[in-house]
Each structure stands twice: as C-alpha cells, then as structure tokens.
Amino acid sequence: MSEQVMTTEPASLESLRVLYQSDDYIVVDKHWDIRIDSKMWYEKLTVQAQLRHHFPKLADPSTYYGFRFCHQLDFSTSGALCVALNKAAAGQAYRCFKDRTVTKAYLALLRGWVEEETQTLDFSIGKNSTEGKTHMMCVEGTEGCENPKPCRTELTVLEYGLYDGDPVTKVLLQPLTGRTHQLRVHCSAIGHPIVGDFTYSSGADDSPYRMMLHAHLLHIPLQPQPLLVSAEDPFVPTVDPKWLPQRSLRTLKDTVEVLLEHRLEEERKVEEEAKEKARREEERRKANKKERFEEESEEQRRQCQEWLSQWAGD
C-alpha cells in the first residue's frame, strides 16, 4: 500500500494512494487534479498511467486503458475510486452500480452557511444546450435545459467555519441517483456552490487550489464479501490551513455509521420482500399444481366411469 500522505501539491506519477487491494479490485484515493483516463496524446498524467506505473503486471492488454474503472469521478473530484482487475469482477461491480445498490458519500465544503441541517435535494437535472455551456448540466426550468431526469441527493451538515476568511459549511452528500455533475449542480441550485467549483460559479470561484469535493465512502455489496472503503478526509486544517472549523454539529464517523445502518436496513427490507415474493410464488405454483392434479383426477374418474359403463354394456 502506498504511503503517500494527503497534500495540496499537484498529482504526479508516483502519488498514487492505494486504499484497498485484492485479487479482483484495487481502490485508490484519486488525486484532485487528475483525469481517470484520456485519449489525448498530450495528457500523460492520468489514474490509468499511475496504475500502469505502480502495477504493470496487473494491466489487462485486452482493454483500451489497461484497467477497468467501475465508476467515474470528475477531473477535479478526489477520493475513493474502484478499479476491477478482471472481466468477471468488473461485471459484478457493474451490476451493483446498475441496480443502485452501491452506497456513496462525498465530503464537500460549500459557500455560505447552510441553515437546514439535513435536507433532500430533489431537482431534476438535464444537459445545458445554451451556447458556451454545453459541457454543463442544469436544473429543470432553467433556460436551455434539455431532457431533465429526476435526481436526489441527501445533504447533512457536519461543521460551520471559514475558508480563507469566508463563511463555508462542511457537508456530507449522498447521491441517491447518478447523474453527471449531480452534486455540483444540486449544491449550486440551493445557493451554496462547492468551494472552488469554477464551472458552476460562472467562473467566479477560482482562488482555492482545488474544488472541495471528495468521494469519502464507497460500499459495493459484492458477493460473498461486500467492499467497504473510505478515503481519508482532506478538508482538515492540517492539510489545508485556510479551512478553519468554528462549530461542529456532528462527527463524520457518527454520520457515516448512521448512513450505513440505514442502508443495511433498506437492504434487509428488500431481501425480506424478495423472500416473501418467492414464498408467495411457490404457494401459487403449488396451488396451481394441486388444481391441475384435481382436474386431471376428475377427468380420469370420468373416463374410468365411461369405460366401466361401456364394458358393463358389452
């Protein structure tokens, strides 16, 4: 495991932090200024290049990039990123993401003090077709918003403080859907854009060294052993002295525990519902079988009576 420590320094080929490794998966703590992969010849520094550098023997020549990324993180988002080391592992993880059984939680610093401590952000998001903004997403009802789809994010306030003298709120964000730029668009929609988000602040927020969004928690319910990994909190004064916490509402540890318990409870309910459905299906199948058997028995009795009456007549 890499012993790289969190820093405000830019990424390098060496600066790969490995959070978890098995025969099937590697989870890395993606740096905040690096793409996962790139087809551009001039873009040499990517997570894929870091992986090739550190684990040349694990690269799969049958794939375009050498490694199968199970999900995506934006260029300017840091944190837990899961990589599958074979086709079967990639398929299993993909099914979990597709079925929305994966739990993800992000840490963020937001501009201003968010008054409502816990809230569900429920804005449909679509592509922005406005000239010059086609790389952006937008909420339903804004000009040029194309094909908006329902999106939900749970927001929990952790701390209030200052960043470089300005009021900010440290929050935990749990995306319940998976739209492009969802967290960034949702936070901007409630008037609290993510600190350092140049794109969704109309280019105004350009002074911090990074965008303050970090994939902290990743739980994939793989069989037989679920994968649960957390990437250390980078929004602490020891890493970035410009962040000055003033009032804490709840700890990150406790908040994550509650989130995971809630998710496990949901999974148990789904499992119980599936078992109940299977039980009802089995009962219905048995009842149908019994009904068919009784119908067949009645038919057999009728045929037997007919044969007996004919035989007696002979």
Gap between the Cα atoms of 203 and 279, Å rounded: 57
Identify the active-site residue in 74, 197, 205, 240. Answer: 74
Residue 234 near residue 248, CB atoms below 8 Å: no
Gap between the Cα atoms of 220 and 215, Å rounded: 14
Each residue of 101-133: b (16+ CB within 10 Å) or e? bbbbbbbbbbbeebeeeeeebebbbbbbeeeee
Per DSSP, 58 falls in state G
Is 74 one of the catalytic residues? yes
Gap between the Cα atoms of 296 and 278, Å rounded: 27
Each residue of 205-235: b (16+ CB within 10 Å) or e? beebebbbbbbbbbbbbbeeeebebbbbbbb
- What is the three-class DSSP state of 128? strand
Residue 114 near residue 155, CB atoms below 8 Å: yes
- Residue by residue, DSSP assigns 37-53 as ----TT---BHHHHHHH
- The enclosing H or E element of 158 equals strand 153-163
Catalytic residues: 74
